[in-house]
Every structure is written in C-alpha cells, then in structure tokens.
Amino acid sequence: MGSTERNLPPAAGKRVLITGVSSGIGEALAELHLRHGYTVFGTSRREPYRFMTHPNFRFRPFDLSKTADIGELFKGPFAEIPSRGVDVLFLNAGVSGNVPARGEEFSLAEVQHVLNVNVLANKAILDLILTSTHRPATCVLSASMAGVRFRAGTLTYSLSKAALAALGGVYAEENPDIFFAVLGLCNVDTGLSRQVSFSQRIADFPDLQALQQRALAPGYMISAAQRAEDIREVIGSPADYGVKSGVFVDMRTVLTRQAKASEVLPQT
C-alpha cells in the first residue's frame, strides 16, 4: 500500500463520527483519527475509557437498537452535528444476532433487533446528518460478504448486511455529492468474528467450519488497527482501488488487486 497521508487532506479542523467506538474496528478507527488530528465523535453503549480524556474526543452513549430515539443521540456533546455536520461518517456498529443457528430458531424479535442496529439506526443517522448544511464527503458502511454470499447459520447477520448494502447503494444514487464506501471488512480479529468462528455450534454448519479453519491459519486474521489503516487508505483514494460509490466491495479482494497492480515487472 502507498502512504496514507498522501491520499487524504490535512486533518486540521476535520470531524468524523464513528458508531460502535468502544471495541474492534470502531475503536481502531477512533484511535487512528485522533492520532492524525481529527475531532472524533464516537458513540457506543459502553464508554471507550482510553479516549475519554482526549481533548479531541466527544462521546455520547447510546443503544442503537432504540431506533425511535435516534434524535436523542444528537444532544449533549453531539448537539452541534446536525448544524455543523461531519466530514466522514463511519457507520460501523453491528451485532450478529447470536449466530450460528438455523433460520427457524431466530425469533422475529431477534431479527428485528439485528435489523435495528445494523440497518435502521444507520438510516436514521444518515437522514439526520444529510440535512446538515455541511454534508459529509464520505460515508463508510461496515458491510460484509455475509450479505452477498449466504451461509447456513447466519440468517440475522446476512439479512441485515444485505439490507445495509442496499441502503448504501440507493443513497449513493440519490446523493451523488457523497461517496458511499460499502466495504466488506473481512478476516479481522474482533469479538464479533470470534463469536461466529468459534461458536460451540460450529460443528452443525460445515461452511462455517471451513471459515473457522481459515481463521486458525497463521496470518489469515488481521488486527482491527491494520484494517482501520486499510479503510483510511482506500477511502482516501477510492479510484486507485477500483472502489465505486454505493457498490459493495470486499476489502481483501480490493487490497489484493491493488497489491498486484503495484507490482513492478522485471525488465527483460
């Protein structure tokens, strides 16, 4: 990969909003952007204690499953966002819905909960922020191959991620001034991925067993910090990576393709 700093404008005065900021990729994105001088607005149910004293960090606790109350999110330290906006929006928070399990084992209430967090909360946040006079230049949606390639045992997660990709695709068509990066984050070592890969029920789902074996292979799983760097690089220069607004892409495929394109053939 090339230099991240090369591709992005100076961070002075730049503002980002990140959901799911207390762990995993959301936490890594917050750390990365704080390190580069951004003002970071972060939300999650739990406090990310490591950032709470940082002068450029603004935190608002919120349960994104309560979609009817999204307006409450934009109070207190977030009150200025509807008027001043943010430059980049990371819709990162997500839940799996206790996968793996067979489809009929998920209650409608469980399906609704996952859809609320993974899709409907994102729509509500987007709708509010898009009314700002300072609209974001980029919106990053944490999508997944689970919304494209369907595996037994993953109904709630796959259903929500397919809907999230559709949300990004439609909003990209309707808002051409904003770049919607719909990214399948792939093979990242987070609590959510471990929940799926190492569930006690994994033996009931052969396709997920194969996924588990890949996860156990040395070097396959990468850190959330590395994926945060990858995301920042890609959205800084999406055309270089062949990423189009509103079109789902798998990060592993994108990065592999870019690495091959960057190879210099030996002189003959």
Least confident of 22-31, 144-153, 207-216, 246-255: 207-216
Could you give the domains of the chain? Answer: 4-186+224-251 (3.40.50.720)
**Peptide bond just before 100 cis, omega within 30 deg:** yes
pLDDT reading at 8 higher than 60: no
pLDDT reading at 4 higher than 60: no
Task: Specify the pLDDT at position 3.
Answer: 41
Within a 10 A sphere around the Cβ of 180, how many other Cβ atoms?
Answer: 27
Task: Specify the pLDDT at position 28.
Answer: 97
Q: What's the rounded Cα separation, in Å, for the pair 153 and 11?
A: 42
Least confident of 10-24, 39-53, 230-244: 10-24
Q: Is 215 exposed, middle or buried (0-12, 13-18, 19+ CB in 10 A)?
A: middle
How far is residue 17 from each of residues 2, 260, 262, measured CA to CA in Å?
25, 33, 32
Query: Closest Cα to residue 227, out of 41, 92, 59?
Result: 92
Least confident of 106-115, 126-135, 156-165, 218-227: 218-227
How large is the C-alpha radius of gyration of the chain? 18
How many contiguous H segments (helices) and E segments (strands) does the chain have?
11, 7
More confident residue, 203 or 72: 72
Residue 175 identity (one-letter amino acid):
N
**3 state SS for 175-195:** CCCCEEEEEECCCECCHHHHH
Give the SS3 label for residue 16: strand
Instruction: Please state, rounded to an integer, the average pLDDT across all residues of the chain.
Output: 90
For a pLDDT cut of 90, what percent of the chain falls above it?
A: 74
Chain position carrying tokens 């055309």: 239
Hey, which of 72-86, 179-193, 195-209 has the most confident mean pLDDT?
72-86
Q: What's the rounded Cα separation, in Å, for the pair 196 and 119?
A: 20
Q: What's the rounded Cα separation, in Å, for the pair 225 and 229?
A: 6
